[in-house]
Amino acid sequence: MVVRSLFTRRASRGPSLYTLSFWLLSVSNFLFSASFSMMIPELPAYLTKLGGKEYIGFIIALFTLTAGFSRPFSGKITDTVGRVPVMAFGSIVCFVCGFLYPYLLTVGGFLTLRLIHGFSTGTKPTATSAYVADIVPSTRRGEAMGMLGLFTATGMSLGPAIGSWLAKDFSMNVMFWTSSAFALLSIGILLQMPETLANPQPFRLSLLKLKKNEIFDKKALPPFIVLLLQSFSSGVILTIISELSTPLGITNNGLFFTVYTVASLGVRLLFSRTSDRYGRIPVLFISTVVLAISMGMLIITDSTVWFWTSAVCYGMSWGMNSPTVTAWTADLSDEKTRGRAMATMYIALEAGIGIGALTAGWLHNHIAGESGIDASFAVAGGLALAAVAYLGWFWRKGQQTLRHKMNEADEVALLDGEP
């Protein structure tokens, strides 16, 4: 009844967000996010068994390298060929890679597959964000991104826990093949969705040739800066959180991801319209402060209470961050180049995660004991505070610009003889 009343109240606020296309996209996102996140907690131990312990930092870094590299291409193709083909391509990559992991049993083969796997998140989220912006009213983008994020976050929450369970009770191969099956289901759903791009073009190789102005959308620079600083923490978490949970006696390495994602789900469900009401910058300011606090908690963690509390704070932060920064990017973008703007935003996400993963891996390998882990969280917290400072400056700058425009309007009114 509570959930039904929430949907009823939201539906009465304007045009419905909950169309068939929206639900299909949401379920597809759930399956996609569960597919690639399912294996993350088990990959460090898996790579170690293959003899590549010193390359643990590359598990996420290589994945995000190709994801970031493919963003400008996916943005251009999203704006020319269409949203649905790009989304389907991302799911196809997940399907193929999940199937192949059991057959590439060398360190080099594994790392090569991680490099290819990154094309999945380098394409599908770009087109997904553009698709959502196409089908929802601009005044409800924050709510739409939040509701879509419920399904994405649920997939990322259940995926790691399912993956760890499959790996421990069955085998790593079963986990990889299950990941591949989830991606296949995502593809089937996407093929049932209508295209939203007006006048889509057939794909041709010439579309892969990028001009300078097609690589980066300058209008998306503010979200780019904020997300780059924020997402460093995600790279750190993905790389070394299992090194912190194991000494605490936590046997399922995916549970941290489950707890923080459940917290993220709660925030998205209860506060999905907050940025639509109060503005993108104030919400991002608060959420990034919470992100910095969560990193501080991980530094002082010496018990499961602190560990789970930090997971909740981390999840609350990203529950506000993700939909808000995506909606902010859509606000700043032009309709004809929305895919490029979304790609620019995601370049920041991939770069931040990749740099965070490499930094955490290097610190963990070169600083003995818990000091390397603490240093990684300290750097992540410092960069989150830098994002807070930037948002504060941007917020004040926006208020000053608004006051300046209001003063100019008053002066014009006086010159025109208006009271």
**DSSP H or E run through 68:** helix 58-80
pLDDT band at 184 (very low <50, low <70, confident <90, very high): very high
pLDDT at 232: 93
**pLDDT of 207 above 80:** no
Q: CA distances (Å), 18 to each of 131, 165, 338, in order?
A: 14, 33, 22
Share of the chain above pLDDT 90, in %: 13
Average of per-residue pLDDT across 307-314: 90
pLDDT at 384: 94
Q: CA distances (Å), 157 to each of 35, 255, 345, in order?
A: 11, 8, 23
As a whole number of angstroms, the distance between CA 335 and CA 134 comes to: 9
The string of pLDDT tens digits covering residues 83-104 is 888 888 988 998 998 888 888 8
**pLDDT of 4 above 90:** no
> Closest by alpha carbon to 349, among 39, 125, 116, 30?
125
Query: Which CATH architecture best describes the domain 17-193+216-415?
Result: Up-down Bundle (1.20)
**pLDDT of 278 above 50:** yes
Average of per-residue pLDDT across 23-29: 87
Arithmetic mean of pLDDT over the chain: 80
pLDDT band at 355 (very low <50, low <70, confident <90, very high): confident
pLDDT at 413: 42
As a whole number of angstroms, the distance between CA 394 and CA 221 comes to: 12
Q: Sort 137 into a burial class: Cβ within 10 Å, 0-12 / 13-18 / 19+.
A: middle
Residue ranges of domains in the chain: 17-193+216-415
3-state secondary structure 306-349: HHHHHHHHHHHHHHHHHHHHHHHHHHHCCHHHHHHHHHHHHHHH
Report DSSP state, residue 194: P
Angle at which helices 255-271 and 221-245 cross, to 10°: 140
Amino acid present at 228? L
pLDDT at 292: 94
The string of pLDDT tens digits covering residues 134-181 is 877 767 777 777 778 778 878 877 888 788 888 888 888 898 899 999
**pLDDT of 404 above 50:** no
**pLDDT of 409 above 70:** no
Average of per-residue pLDDT across 314-338: 84
Average of per-residue pLDDT across 98-120: 86
**pLDDT of 408 above 60:** no
Report DSSP state, residue 202: P
Q: How far is CA 132 from the centre of its chain?
A: 15
pLDDT at 412: 40
